[in-house]
Protein backbone atom coordinates (compact mmCIF):
# COMPACT_ATOMS: atom_id res chain seq x y z
CA UNK A 1 0.00 0.00 0.00
CA UNK A 2 1.46 3.30 -1.07
CA UNK A 3 -0.55 5.87 0.87
CA UNK A 4 -1.86 5.49 4.44
CA UNK A 5 -2.81 9.13 5.03
CA UNK A 6 -6.50 8.60 4.33
CA UNK A 7 -6.70 5.87 6.95
CA UNK A 8 -5.35 7.71 9.96
CA UNK A 9 -8.61 9.24 11.20
CA UNK A 10 -9.47 7.13 14.22
CA UNK A 11 -12.85 8.87 14.43
CA UNK A 12 -13.80 6.99 11.24
CA UNK A 13 -14.26 3.90 13.39
CA UNK A 14 -17.21 4.25 15.82
CA UNK A 15 -16.07 1.39 18.05
CA UNK A 16 -13.08 3.38 19.33
CA UNK A 17 -14.12 4.39 22.86
CA UNK A 18 -12.86 7.20 25.00
CA UNK A 19 -10.44 5.98 27.66
CA UNK A 20 -10.84 6.77 31.33
CA UNK A 21 -7.82 8.61 32.69
CA UNK A 22 -5.86 7.75 35.82
CA UNK A 23 -7.02 10.88 37.68
CA UNK A 24 -10.66 9.90 37.24
CA UNK A 25 -9.99 6.38 38.50
CA UNK A 26 -8.18 7.84 41.51
CA UNK A 27 -11.19 10.00 42.39
CA UNK A 28 -13.31 6.85 42.46
CA UNK A 29 -11.42 5.57 45.49
CA UNK A 30 -13.15 8.23 47.62
CA UNK A 31 -16.70 7.46 46.44
CA UNK A 32 -19.19 6.50 49.16
CA UNK A 33 -22.44 7.54 47.46
CA UNK A 34 -23.73 7.35 43.88
CA UNK A 35 -26.71 9.34 42.57
CA UNK A 36 -28.47 8.65 39.28
CA UNK A 37 -30.73 10.70 37.06
CA UNK A 38 -33.59 8.64 35.57
CA UNK A 39 -34.48 9.58 31.99
CA UNK A 40 -31.81 8.67 29.41
CA UNK A 41 -29.56 7.65 32.31
CA UNK A 42 -31.11 4.65 34.06
CA UNK A 43 -33.78 4.12 31.40
CA UNK A 44 -34.96 5.41 28.03
CA UNK A 45 -37.96 7.66 28.56
CA UNK A 46 -39.69 7.04 25.24
CA UNK A 47 -39.63 3.24 25.40
CA UNK A 48 -39.24 2.56 29.12
CA UNK A 49 -36.27 0.29 28.41
CA UNK A 50 -33.89 -0.25 31.33
CA UNK A 51 -30.92 -2.64 30.93
CA UNK A 52 -30.80 -5.72 33.14
CA UNK A 53 -27.34 -4.55 34.19
CA UNK A 54 -28.87 -1.74 36.27
CA UNK A 55 -30.17 -4.23 38.84
CA UNK A 56 -26.70 -5.74 39.07
CA UNK A 57 -25.19 -2.27 39.53
CA UNK A 58 -27.42 -1.44 42.49
CA UNK A 59 -26.79 -4.84 44.09
CA UNK A 60 -23.05 -4.40 43.72
CA UNK A 61 -22.98 -0.86 45.11
CA UNK A 62 -25.08 -1.85 48.12
CA UNK A 63 -22.89 -4.89 48.81
CA UNK A 64 -19.91 -2.52 49.04
CA UNK A 65 -21.73 -0.25 51.50
CA UNK A 66 -22.08 2.57 48.95
CA UNK A 67 -25.19 4.72 49.36
CA UNK A 68 -27.42 4.67 46.27
CA UNK A 69 -29.71 7.54 45.36
CA UNK A 70 -32.00 8.87 42.67
CA UNK A 71 -31.56 12.57 41.82
CA UNK A 72 -34.33 13.52 39.43
CA UNK A 73 -36.43 16.37 38.19
CA UNK A 74 -39.38 14.01 38.57
CA UNK A 75 -41.62 13.99 41.63
CA UNK A 76 -41.88 10.66 43.43
CA UNK A 77 -45.25 9.93 41.78
CA UNK A 78 -43.47 10.15 38.43
CA UNK A 79 -40.81 7.60 39.41
CA UNK A 80 -41.79 4.42 37.62
CA UNK A 81 -42.03 1.06 39.34
CA UNK A 82 -38.90 -0.44 37.77
CA UNK A 83 -36.85 2.37 39.31
CA UNK A 84 -38.50 1.98 42.72
CA UNK A 85 -37.83 -1.77 42.54
CA UNK A 86 -34.10 -0.99 42.63
CA UNK A 87 -34.69 0.10 46.26
CA UNK A 88 -32.32 3.07 46.35
CA UNK A 89 -31.47 4.44 49.78
CA UNK A 90 -32.78 7.91 49.02
CA UNK A 91 -34.83 9.81 46.43
CA UNK A 92 -33.89 13.43 45.71
CA UNK A 93 -36.92 14.52 43.71
CA UNK A 94 -38.36 17.62 42.03
CA UNK A 95 -34.86 18.94 41.41
CA UNK A 96 -33.97 18.87 45.10
CA UNK A 97 -37.17 20.37 46.53
CA UNK A 98 -38.41 17.12 48.09
CA UNK A 99 -36.38 14.22 49.53
CA UNK A 100 -37.72 10.80 50.49
CA UNK A 101 -36.15 7.81 52.23
CA UNK A 102 -36.09 4.23 50.92
CA UNK A 103 -39.60 3.65 52.32
CA UNK A 104 -40.98 6.60 50.36
CA UNK A 105 -41.42 8.79 53.43
CA UNK A 106 -40.69 12.51 53.00
CA UNK A 107 -37.67 13.52 55.08
CA UNK A 108 -37.19 17.01 53.64
CA UNK A 109 -39.38 19.40 51.66
CA UNK A 110 -39.04 23.01 50.56
CA UNK A 111 -42.06 24.33 48.62
CA UNK A 112 -42.03 27.55 46.60
CA UNK A 113 -43.22 30.76 48.28
CA UNK A 114 -46.95 31.06 47.37
CA UNK A 115 -46.58 34.72 46.39
CA UNK A 116 -43.83 33.82 43.95
CA UNK A 117 -46.06 31.16 42.41
CA UNK A 118 -48.84 33.72 41.99
CA UNK A 119 -46.48 36.09 40.20
CA UNK A 120 -45.35 33.26 37.95
CA UNK A 121 -48.93 32.34 37.03
CA UNK A 122 -49.68 36.00 36.26
CA UNK A 123 -46.73 36.08 33.85
CA UNK A 124 -47.89 32.87 32.10
CA UNK A 125 -51.35 34.32 31.62
CA UNK A 126 -49.85 37.52 30.27
CA UNK A 127 -47.75 35.51 27.78
CA UNK A 128 -50.71 33.34 26.87
CA UNK A 129 -48.91 30.07 27.63
CA UNK A 130 -50.00 26.99 29.56
CA UNK A 131 -48.39 26.24 32.90
CA UNK A 132 -48.19 23.45 35.45
CA UNK A 133 -47.24 22.56 39.02
CA UNK A 134 -45.51 19.69 40.78
CA UNK A 135 -47.47 19.24 44.00
CA UNK A 136 -46.68 16.92 46.87
CA UNK A 137 -48.76 14.06 45.48
CA UNK A 138 -49.82 14.96 41.96
CA UNK A 139 -48.89 16.79 38.78
CA UNK A 140 -51.19 19.61 37.77
CA UNK A 141 -51.65 21.49 34.48
CA UNK A 142 -53.57 24.63 33.67
CA UNK A 143 -55.21 23.15 30.59
CA UNK A 144 -55.35 20.05 28.43
CA UNK A 145 -53.89 20.24 24.91
CA UNK A 146 -51.79 18.12 22.59
CA UNK A 147 -48.73 20.27 23.31
CA UNK A 148 -49.16 19.87 27.08
CA UNK A 149 -49.93 16.15 26.83
CA UNK A 150 -46.86 15.42 24.67
CA UNK A 151 -44.64 16.77 27.44
CA UNK A 152 -46.37 15.73 30.64
CA UNK A 153 -48.05 12.36 29.93
CA UNK A 154 -44.86 10.30 29.32
CA UNK A 155 -43.66 11.33 32.78
CA UNK A 156 -46.76 11.80 34.96
CA UNK A 157 -49.75 10.61 32.97
CA UNK A 158 -52.61 13.01 32.18
CA UNK A 159 -52.32 14.89 35.48
CA UNK A 160 -54.94 17.01 37.21
CA UNK A 161 -56.33 20.06 35.38
CA UNK A 162 -56.61 22.95 37.84
CA UNK A 163 -55.25 26.39 36.90
CA UNK A 164 -55.84 27.57 40.50
CA UNK A 165 -54.23 24.61 42.28
CA UNK A 166 -51.53 26.86 43.73
CA UNK A 167 -54.02 28.92 45.69
CA UNK A 168 -54.68 26.13 48.18
CA UNK A 169 -51.73 23.68 47.81
CA UNK A 170 -47.98 23.63 48.19
CA UNK A 171 -46.08 23.84 44.91
CA UNK A 172 -42.51 22.50 44.64
CA UNK A 173 -41.81 23.34 41.02
CA UNK A 174 -43.58 24.92 38.04
CA UNK A 175 -43.57 24.16 34.33
CA UNK A 176 -43.94 26.17 31.15
CA UNK A 177 -45.70 24.73 28.09
CA UNK A 178 -45.23 26.67 24.87
CA UNK A 179 -44.50 26.29 21.16
CA UNK A 180 -41.73 28.84 21.53
CA UNK A 181 -40.47 27.42 24.81
CA UNK A 182 -36.79 27.88 23.94
CA UNK A 183 -37.39 31.60 23.43
CA UNK A 184 -39.08 32.28 26.77
CA UNK A 185 -37.34 34.71 29.13
CA UNK A 186 -38.54 35.42 32.65
CA UNK A 187 -39.45 39.04 33.48
CA UNK A 188 -37.36 41.15 35.86
CA UNK A 189 -39.67 40.57 38.83
CA UNK A 190 -39.08 36.79 38.54
CA UNK A 191 -35.59 36.34 37.13
CA UNK A 192 -33.83 36.95 40.45
CA UNK A 193 -35.82 34.17 42.14
CA UNK A 194 -36.56 31.67 39.37
CA UNK A 195 -34.78 30.10 36.42
CA UNK A 196 -35.92 28.13 33.38
CA UNK A 197 -34.33 24.73 32.75
CA UNK A 198 -35.54 23.16 29.47
CA UNK A 199 -36.29 19.43 29.65
CA UNK A 200 -38.60 19.01 26.65
CA UNK A 201 -38.92 20.88 23.32
CA UNK A 202 -42.13 22.46 24.61
CA UNK A 203 -41.50 22.63 28.35
CA UNK A 204 -39.09 23.89 30.99
CA UNK A 205 -38.80 23.28 34.71
CA UNK A 206 -39.23 26.56 36.56
CA UNK A 207 -36.94 26.25 39.56
CA UNK A 208 -36.07 28.58 42.40
CA UNK A 209 -32.56 29.97 42.48
CA UNK A 210 -30.53 28.02 45.04
CA UNK A 211 -32.69 24.92 44.65
CA UNK A 212 -31.34 22.12 42.47
CA UNK A 213 -30.45 18.47 42.50
CA UNK A 214 -27.16 19.61 43.99
CA UNK A 215 -28.82 21.33 46.95
CA UNK A 216 -30.90 18.20 47.57
CA UNK A 217 -27.88 15.92 47.43
CA UNK A 218 -26.00 18.32 49.72
CA UNK A 219 -28.79 17.94 52.28
CA UNK A 220 -28.42 14.14 52.11
CA UNK A 221 -24.64 14.31 52.49
CA UNK A 222 -24.89 16.55 55.53
CA UNK A 223 -27.17 14.02 57.19
CA UNK A 224 -24.85 11.12 56.23
CA UNK A 225 -21.63 12.90 57.27
CA UNK A 226 -20.21 12.82 53.73
CA UNK A 227 -18.45 15.39 51.56
CA UNK A 228 -18.91 16.28 47.87
CA UNK A 229 -15.69 14.41 47.04
CA UNK A 230 -17.43 11.25 48.25
CA UNK A 231 -20.17 11.51 45.61
CA UNK A 232 -20.37 10.16 42.06
CA UNK A 233 -23.25 11.36 39.87
CA UNK A 234 -24.67 10.21 36.54
CA UNK A 235 -26.75 12.49 34.33
CA UNK A 236 -27.58 13.62 30.82
CA UNK A 237 -29.39 16.99 30.79
CA UNK A 238 -29.13 20.65 31.75
CA UNK A 239 -30.89 20.14 35.09
CA UNK A 240 -27.81 18.10 36.10
CA UNK A 241 -25.42 21.03 35.63
CA UNK A 242 -25.31 22.17 39.26
CA UNK A 243 -24.95 18.56 40.41
CA UNK A 244 -21.98 18.03 38.09
CA UNK A 245 -20.34 21.16 39.51
CA UNK A 246 -20.99 19.99 43.07
CA UNK A 247 -20.04 16.31 42.99
CA UNK A 248 -16.52 14.98 43.33
CA UNK A 249 -16.96 12.78 40.26
CA UNK A 250 -19.42 13.25 37.37
CA UNK A 251 -20.22 10.89 34.50
CA UNK A 252 -22.27 11.99 31.49
CA UNK A 253 -24.23 9.49 29.42
CA UNK A 254 -23.41 9.03 25.74
CA UNK A 255 -26.43 11.07 24.62
CA UNK A 256 -25.88 13.91 27.08
CA UNK A 257 -26.35 17.59 26.34
CA UNK A 258 -23.08 19.01 24.94
CA UNK A 259 -22.84 21.61 27.73
CA UNK A 260 -23.12 18.88 30.36
CA UNK A 261 -20.43 16.81 28.67
CA UNK A 262 -18.01 19.71 29.12
CA UNK A 263 -18.39 19.38 32.89
CA UNK A 264 -18.06 15.58 33.00
CA UNK A 265 -15.03 13.69 34.26
CA UNK A 266 -15.99 10.90 31.87
CA UNK A 267 -18.49 10.37 29.06
CA UNK A 268 -19.77 6.81 29.08
CA UNK A 269 -21.82 4.80 26.61
CA UNK A 270 -25.58 5.10 26.04
CA UNK A 271 -28.28 3.47 28.18
CA UNK A 272 -28.85 0.64 25.71
CA UNK A 273 -25.11 0.00 25.63
CA UNK A 274 -24.98 -0.56 29.42
CA UNK A 275 -23.29 2.81 29.88
CA UNK A 276 -23.65 2.89 33.66
CA UNK A 277 -22.25 -0.61 34.13
CA UNK A 278 -19.37 0.21 31.79
CA UNK A 279 -18.41 3.36 33.69
CA UNK A 280 -18.66 1.74 37.11
CA UNK A 281 -16.58 -1.23 35.96
CA UNK A 282 -13.92 1.12 34.63
CA UNK A 283 -13.97 3.03 37.92
CA UNK A 284 -13.60 -0.21 39.87
CA UNK A 285 -16.82 0.38 41.82
CA UNK A 286 -18.51 -2.81 40.62
CA UNK A 287 -17.03 -6.16 39.69
CA UNK A 288 -16.73 -6.72 35.96
CA UNK A 289 -19.20 -9.16 34.46
CA UNK A 290 -16.97 -11.17 32.19
CA UNK A 291 -18.21 -12.79 29.00
CA UNK A 292 -15.96 -14.88 26.83
CA UNK A 293 -16.92 -14.52 23.15
CA UNK A 294 -14.52 -17.24 22.03
CA UNK A 295 -16.53 -19.77 24.06
CA UNK A 296 -19.75 -19.01 22.14
CA UNK A 297 -19.12 -17.05 18.94
CA UNK A 298 -22.76 -17.40 17.84
CA UNK A 299 -23.82 -14.98 20.56
CA UNK A 300 -21.48 -12.22 19.39
CA UNK A 301 -22.27 -9.61 16.77
CA UNK A 302 -19.51 -7.83 14.90
CA UNK A 303 -17.54 -7.63 11.67
CA UNK A 304 -16.39 -10.81 9.95
CA UNK A 305 -13.11 -11.04 8.04
CA UNK A 306 -12.51 -13.70 5.41
CA UNK A 307 -8.84 -14.36 4.74
CA UNK A 308 -8.70 -15.82 1.22
CA UNK A 309 -5.52 -17.82 0.59
CA UNK A 310 -4.20 -20.12 -2.12
CA UNK A 311 -4.98 -22.96 0.34
CA UNK A 312 -8.58 -21.93 1.03
CA UNK A 313 -10.58 -19.40 3.06
CA UNK A 314 -10.63 -18.71 6.80
CA UNK A 315 -13.59 -16.84 8.31
CA UNK A 316 -12.82 -14.84 11.44
CA UNK A 317 -15.13 -13.01 13.84
CA UNK A 318 -13.51 -9.74 14.94
CA UNK A 319 -13.88 -8.17 18.40
CA UNK A 320 -13.98 -4.35 18.06
CA UNK A 321 -15.47 -3.86 21.52
CA UNK A 322 -12.48 -5.56 23.11
CA UNK A 323 -9.65 -4.35 20.87
CA UNK A 324 -10.96 -1.25 19.06
CA UNK A 325 -7.69 0.20 17.76
CA UNK A 326 -6.41 -3.20 16.67
CA UNK A 327 -9.59 -4.09 14.79
CA UNK A 328 -9.72 -0.64 13.21
CA UNK A 329 -6.15 -1.12 12.02
CA UNK A 330 -6.78 -4.60 10.59
CA UNK A 331 -10.07 -3.63 8.90
CA UNK A 332 -8.64 -0.49 7.32
CA UNK A 333 -5.55 -2.26 6.02
CA UNK A 334 -7.67 -5.12 4.65
CA UNK A 335 -10.12 -2.80 2.89
CA UNK A 336 -7.27 -0.81 1.39
CA UNK A 337 -5.76 -3.97 -0.10
CA UNK A 338 -2.63 -3.80 2.06
CA UNK A 339 -2.63 -7.56 2.67
CA UNK A 340 -3.35 -8.57 -0.93
CA UNK A 341 -0.58 -10.83 -2.25
CA UNK A 342 1.32 -10.96 1.07
CA UNK A 343 2.57 -14.37 2.20
CA UNK A 344 2.44 -16.20 5.51
CA UNK A 345 6.17 -15.81 6.06
CA UNK A 346 6.48 -17.88 9.25
CA UNK A 347 4.70 -21.16 9.86
CA UNK A 348 5.35 -23.47 12.81
CA UNK A 349 3.19 -26.56 13.02
CA UNK A 350 1.54 -27.11 16.40
CA UNK A 351 2.09 -23.42 17.15
CA UNK A 352 0.84 -20.76 14.71
CA UNK A 353 0.89 -19.23 11.22
CA UNK A 354 2.12 -15.64 10.84
CA UNK A 355 1.63 -13.08 8.06
CA UNK A 356 0.86 -9.43 7.36
CA UNK A 357 4.37 -8.24 6.43
CA UNK A 358 4.57 -6.83 2.88
CA UNK A 359 8.34 -7.51 2.83
CA UNK A 360 7.79 -11.19 3.60
CA UNK A 361 10.72 -11.12 6.05
CA UNK A 362 9.01 -10.61 9.41
CA UNK A 363 10.81 -7.28 9.76
CA UNK A 364 8.34 -4.96 7.99
CA UNK A 365 4.79 -3.68 8.08
CA UNK A 366 3.07 -0.45 9.09
CA UNK A 367 -0.14 0.35 10.97
CA UNK A 368 -2.75 2.89 9.88
CA UNK A 369 -1.49 5.07 12.72
CA UNK A 370 1.91 5.46 11.08
CA UNK A 371 4.00 4.19 13.96
CA UNK A 372 3.49 1.11 16.09
CA UNK A 373 0.57 1.24 18.49
CA UNK A 374 -0.22 -0.01 21.96
CA UNK A 375 -1.38 -3.45 23.08
CA UNK A 376 -5.07 -3.94 23.90
CA UNK A 377 -5.34 -6.80 26.36
CA UNK A 378 -8.82 -7.93 27.40
CA UNK A 379 -9.87 -10.03 30.38
CA UNK A 380 -12.30 -11.74 28.01
CA UNK A 381 -10.01 -12.79 25.12
CA UNK A 382 -7.23 -15.42 25.06
CA UNK A 383 -4.83 -17.14 22.67
CA UNK A 384 -6.90 -20.30 22.32
CA UNK A 385 -6.70 -22.39 19.15
CA UNK A 386 -8.00 -20.33 16.23
CA UNK A 387 -7.34 -16.96 17.88
CA UNK A 388 -6.27 -14.07 15.63
CA UNK A 389 -3.55 -12.11 17.46
CA UNK A 390 -1.09 -9.34 16.75
CA UNK A 391 2.55 -10.23 16.21
CA UNK A 392 4.98 -7.82 17.87
CA UNK A 393 8.58 -7.18 18.83
CA UNK A 394 7.76 -6.50 22.48
CA UNK A 395 5.20 -4.44 24.43
CA UNK A 396 3.26 -1.83 22.41
CA UNK A 397 4.97 -2.51 19.08
CA UNK A 398 1.96 -3.53 16.99
CA UNK A 399 2.03 -2.79 13.26
CA UNK A 400 0.42 -4.85 10.50
CA UNK A 401 1.66 -8.38 11.28
CA UNK A 402 -0.69 -10.96 12.81
CA UNK A 403 -0.80 -14.67 13.54
CA UNK A 404 -3.43 -17.36 13.97
CA UNK A 405 -2.95 -19.87 16.79
CA UNK A 406 -2.92 -23.44 15.39
CA UNK A 407 -1.73 -25.55 18.32
CA UNK A 408 -4.38 -28.15 19.27
CA UNK A 409 -2.78 -29.53 22.44
CA UNK A 410 -1.38 -27.99 25.61
CA UNK A 411 0.70 -29.64 28.36
CA UNK A 412 -1.58 -28.35 31.12
CA UNK A 413 -4.75 -29.70 32.67
CA UNK A 414 -7.77 -27.44 33.12
CA UNK A 415 -7.34 -27.27 36.90
CA UNK A 416 -3.70 -26.28 36.50
CA UNK A 417 -4.71 -23.34 34.33
CA UNK A 418 -7.43 -22.31 36.79
CA UNK A 419 -4.90 -22.37 39.61
CA UNK A 420 -2.68 -20.21 37.42
CA UNK A 421 -5.40 -17.55 37.20
CA UNK A 422 -7.15 -18.37 33.93
CA UNK A 423 -10.99 -18.14 34.12
CA UNK A 424 -12.69 -21.53 34.27
CA UNK A 425 -14.46 -21.27 30.87
CA UNK A 426 -11.18 -20.34 29.17
CA UNK A 427 -9.22 -23.04 31.01
CA UNK A 428 -11.80 -25.56 29.83
CA UNK A 429 -11.53 -24.27 26.24
CA UNK A 430 -7.73 -24.48 26.33
CA UNK A 431 -7.85 -28.03 27.69
CA UNK A 432 -10.38 -29.14 25.07
CA UNK A 433 -9.17 -27.33 21.95
CA UNK A 434 -5.56 -26.27 22.59
CA UNK A 435 -3.86 -22.94 22.19
CA UNK A 436 -0.89 -20.96 23.47
CA UNK A 437 -1.67 -19.68 26.98
CA UNK A 438 1.92 -18.49 27.43
CA UNK A 439 1.16 -15.73 24.87
CA UNK A 440 -1.72 -14.26 26.88
CA UNK A 441 -1.04 -10.67 27.97
CA UNK A 442 1.84 -10.58 25.50
CA UNK A 443 -0.07 -10.45 22.23
CA UNK A 444 -3.38 -8.70 21.52
CA UNK A 445 -6.18 -11.11 20.62
CA UNK A 446 -8.74 -9.48 18.31
CA UNK A 447 -10.52 -12.26 16.41
CA UNK A 448 -11.41 -15.97 16.31
CA UNK A 449 -11.89 -18.57 13.55
CA UNK A 450 -15.59 -19.23 13.07
CA UNK A 451 -16.15 -22.66 11.53
CA UNK A 452 -14.70 -26.13 10.97
CA UNK A 453 -13.85 -25.41 7.33
CA UNK A 454 -11.63 -22.53 8.49
CA UNK A 455 -9.83 -24.79 10.97
CA UNK A 456 -9.21 -27.31 8.21
CA UNK A 457 -7.57 -24.59 6.10
CA UNK A 458 -5.54 -23.45 9.14
CA UNK A 459 -4.26 -26.99 9.73
CA UNK A 460 -3.49 -27.47 6.05
CA UNK A 461 -1.39 -24.31 6.00
CA UNK A 462 0.35 -25.30 9.24
CA UNK A 463 1.29 -28.61 7.61
CA UNK A 464 3.19 -27.20 4.62
CA UNK A 465 6.91 -27.84 4.24
CA UNK A 466 9.10 -25.10 5.66
CA UNK A 467 12.74 -24.18 5.41
CA UNK A 468 15.06 -21.65 7.05
CA UNK A 469 13.47 -19.36 9.63
CA UNK A 470 10.23 -21.40 9.38
CA UNK A 471 9.41 -19.88 5.99
CA UNK A 472 7.34 -22.12 3.67
CA UNK A 473 9.23 -23.68 0.79
CA UNK A 474 6.30 -22.81 -1.47
CA UNK A 475 4.54 -19.50 -0.81
CA UNK A 476 1.29 -19.53 1.15
CA UNK A 477 -0.36 -16.41 -0.21
CA UNK A 478 -3.04 -14.14 1.22
CA UNK A 479 -4.94 -13.35 -1.98
CA UNK A 480 -7.14 -10.79 -0.20
CA UNK A 481 -8.98 -10.16 3.05
CA UNK A 482 -12.66 -9.29 2.77
CA UNK A 483 -14.45 -7.64 5.69
CA UNK A 484 -18.23 -7.69 6.15
CA UNK A 485 -19.30 -5.06 8.67
List 3, 21, 37, 150, catalytic entry: 37
Residue 37 is a catalytic residue? yes
3-state secondary structure the chain: CCCCHHHCCHHHCCCCCCCCCHHHHHHHHHCCEEEECCECCCECCCCCCCCCHHHHHHHHHHHCCCEEEEECCCCHHHCCHHHHCCCCCEEEEHHHCEEEECCCCEEEECCCCHHHHHHHHHHHHHHCCEEEEECCCCEEECCCCHHHHHHHHHHHCCCEECCCHHHCCCCCEEEEECCCHHHCCCCHHHHCCEEEEEEECCEEEEEECCCCHHHHHHHHHHHHCCCHHHEEEEECCHHHHHHHHHCCEEEECCCCCHHHHCCCCEECCCHHHCHHHHHHHHHCCCCCCCCCCCCCHHHCCCCEEEEEEECEEEEEEECCCCCHHHHHHHHHHHHCCCCCCCECCEEECCCEEEECCCCCCCCCCCCCCCCCECCCCCCCCCCECCEEEECCCCCCCECCCEEEECCCCCCCCHHHHHHCCCCHHHHHHHHHHCECHHHCCCCCEEEEECCHHHHHHHHHHHCCCECHHHCECCCCEEEEEEEEC
**HSE-up of 301 (CA within 13 Å, CB side)?**
2
Q: Which residues pair with 310 in a beta bridge?
A: 312
Nearest to 35 by CA among 88, 96, 112: 88
Q: Which residues are catalytic?
A: 37
Amino acid sequence: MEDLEGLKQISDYPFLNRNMDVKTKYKAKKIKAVFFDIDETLRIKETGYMPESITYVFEQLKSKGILTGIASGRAIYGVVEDIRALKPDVFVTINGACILDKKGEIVYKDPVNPELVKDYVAWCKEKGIAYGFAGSDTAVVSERSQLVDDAIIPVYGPGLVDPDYHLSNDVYLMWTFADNNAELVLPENLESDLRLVPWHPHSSDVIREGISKASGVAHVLEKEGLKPENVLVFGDELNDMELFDYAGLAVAMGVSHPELQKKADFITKKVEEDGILYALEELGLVEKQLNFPQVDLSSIEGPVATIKTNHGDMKIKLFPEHAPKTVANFVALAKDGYYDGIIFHRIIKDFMIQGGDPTGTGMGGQSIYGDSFEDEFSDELYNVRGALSMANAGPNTNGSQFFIVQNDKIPYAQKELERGGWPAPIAELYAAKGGTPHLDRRHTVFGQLMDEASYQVLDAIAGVQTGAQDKPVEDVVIETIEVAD
